[in-house]
Amino acid sequence: MLQLILGGARSGKSRLAEKLAADTRLPVTYIATSQPIDGEMNQRVAQHRARRPAEWALVEEPLALAQALRENAATDRCLLVDCLTLWLTNLLMLDDPEWLIAEREALLDCISALPGEVIFVSNETGMGVVPLGELTRRYVDEAGWLHQALAERCQRVVLTVAGLPLTLKGTAL
C-alpha cells in the first residue's frame, strides 16, 4: 500500500506516519531526506531519531529518492519517507531545473511498482500565505503538483491537523 500523510508544520504528520509504520509489524526502513546543515535542523533530526525505534533501519538520501526506494523496497518491509518537501527543497536549491524534473519523474514512475508498504510524509504548504519571492512561489507550486500526482497514485491520503488525522482518500484510520 502507498500512503501519503500531509500536514502543516508540527501537525503530527511524522508521528502518525511512524505509528502507521509500526502498526504494519514489518521491518521499517526510514528514508530521511533532510540535510541537517544548521543547529535548528540538527535539533529536529535529533528529536525524530529519539522517537524512532532503535531497530528501524535508516537511509539518508537528500536527492536520489526513487533510487533509494527501489533499492530498499521489499514485500516484507515498510518504507517511511520523511519528508517530501525537504527533498523537493534540496532539489530546488541545486539551481538545475532538469535535475528536479528528472528526480520527480523517477519518483512518480517507480512508486506504483514498489513492493511492500510505503508511507510518504510531506508538508502541506498550499493552505498558507502566498509567498512573495520567486523561489518560494516555485516551491509552493512544485509541492502542490507533487502532492496531486502522489495522491492520485496512493491508496490512502491523510491530512493531519493538530495531531488529528482526516482521511481524504482510502480507508479511514
Q: Which residues are catalytic?
A: 48
Q: Is the dihedral of CA 168, 88, 123, 138 positive or negative?
A: negative
C-alpha dihedral, 118 to 119 to 125 to 127, nearest 10°: 110
C-alpha grid cell for residue 23? 502498526
In whole angstroms, give the CA distance from residue 96 to residue 23.
39
DSSP category for residue 8: -
- The count of other CB atoms within 10 Å of the CB of residue 162 is 9
Residue 142: strand, helix, or coil: helix
The CA-based diameter of the chain, rounded to the nearest angstrom, is 45
Q: What share of the chain is helix, strand, coil (3-state, %, to 5)?
A: 45, 25, 30
In whole angstroms, give the CA distance from residue 119 to residue 1.
8
